[in-house]
Structure 1
């Protein structure tokens, strides 16, 4: 039934029935009651749903055939994974891919406030908060400009660093905002500093004050897109 497939969609999106009904601007309980009683949903309500949630596949919703989403995201195989021993793996997850070129600040991206280009699904990966393409050659040849990195946001920068791991580091240095991909190591200058180290030997390590770091994310995996021309 349509109502049960709609219930699957709402659950997969991770939104509440109340929020769903609120988006549609329908009376509270109207959708939840139809789902609970497995009743038919009127055509005007279905049109409202498809207008407000344009990622749902109308053929799947009406018939159960095909995929739940209009453009089902491809399942990628990561080029590399960077796992901690404590990482638990999730069988499947939809990881948002963000448009960093349009982002004024990566902090907005970390907060989910920038445009999502698409979603990436990778089986048996640790939980990730997002993915984005990188630029620059500081981590070459491990990472190349254009590679996509999948990351987990660090909530407590002071206490949450795993030394020697690779991070996205957003910092303000002398008034300049910059986003770097670096290994983060302990600094010989003391606890107020961290050392940023590149894979590319042409980039010298740099010690910076940790208070300059505005956001950090632990890199969990990378994807390389090889285009054929």
Structure 2
């Protein structure tokens, strides 16, 4: 959880960013104004905190927890996610994570298909299990990530069913006829279940909706390393 701001404070910030009054939010959402006031004062925050705990720790669908979207079949499906999302996979006391030369690998798909082009190994204790690490480029996730940072990832084998909505991914996707390697948040798309929305941390980069089938390779980012000084 973000310890710098409470859930209520973030709700207020979101409402003010949208230039809405509590009464307007009540009319648009059909939520009583008294309940909105309680939410913004953190009187009901523990309900949301518990839902997010189940979602982040055990991969239970947040949409199902909040509004029942998809029915209990969603709950059963989420509990059958592949190994990289299981709670038992959260921490490894000691592991060697290969740092790959991404440019030499010539793309994410080829990187995943072989174990060559290893520059070195990274050793970080008590880290979630990772398949590899690469240096990234670009500023789409700035200031959270910047060009030159190292991200450590776990490959997603079942792209169609293995996405944890709202999390950060390293992906290779066909966009505008080009095969691009990106670091993005992946969210549900308003275009339907056959699409996903790619969202940047940098507000100067606009979100983009792409067909899910256009994602050729996908990896869940588990951790990152930033070097602030070369001296």
Paired residue for 1:218? 220
Q: How far apart in 1 are the matches of 2:115 and 2:177?
A: 23
**RMSD between superposed Cα atoms in Å:** 1.5
TM-aligned CA deviation for residue 173 of structure 1? 2.1
Paired residue for 1:153? 155
CA deviations on 1:156-184 (whole Å, 9 max, x unpaired) are 00100000000001012233111000000
2:134 pairs with 1:132: yes
3-state SS of the aligned residue for 1:170? Answer: strand
CA deviations on 1:85-112 (whole Å, 9 max, x unpaired) are 1342110000000001212221111223
Q: How far apart in 1 are the matches of 2:139 and 2:176?
A: 23
Paired residue for 1:101? 103
5+ long unaligned stretches in structure 1: 1-83
3-state SS of the aligned residue for 2:134? Answer: strand
TM-score normalised by L of structure 2: 0.61
Structure 1 contact 184–196 (Cα < 8 Å) conserved: yes
Structure 1 contact 108–114 (Cα < 8 Å) conserved: no
Structure 2 contact 108–171 (Cα < 8 Å) conserved: no
Name the structure, 1 or 2, with higher relative contact order (CA <8 Å, separation 6+).
1
CA deviations on 1:174-208 (whole Å, 9 max, x unpaired) are 33111000000000000000000000000000000
Q: How far apart in 2 are the matches of 1:101 and 1:221?
A: 21
Paired residue for 1:44? none
Q: How far apart in 2 are the matches of 1:154 and 1:166?
A: 12
Query: Aligned residue pairs: how many?
Result: 147
Paired residue for 1:79? none
TM-score normalised by L of structure 1: 0.62
2:121 pairs with 1:89: no
Paired residue for 2:113? 111
Q: How far apart in 2 are the matches of 1:186 and 1:158?
A: 12
Query: 1:1-229 alignment to 2 at 5 Å?
Result: 84-85=56-57, 86=87, 87-229=89-231
Paired residue for 1:25? none
3-state SS of the aligned residue for 1:89? Answer: coil
Q: How far apart in 1 are the matches of 2:222 and 2:230?
A: 27
Cα gap change, 1:228 to 1:97, in 2 (>3 Å): closer
Structure 1 contact 193–207 (Cα < 8 Å) conserved: yes
Larger Rg: 1
Q: How far apart in 1 are the matches of 2:201 and 2:140?
A: 6
3-state SS of the aligned residue for 1:125? Answer: coil
Q: How far apart in 1 are the matches of 2:113 and 2:153?
A: 13
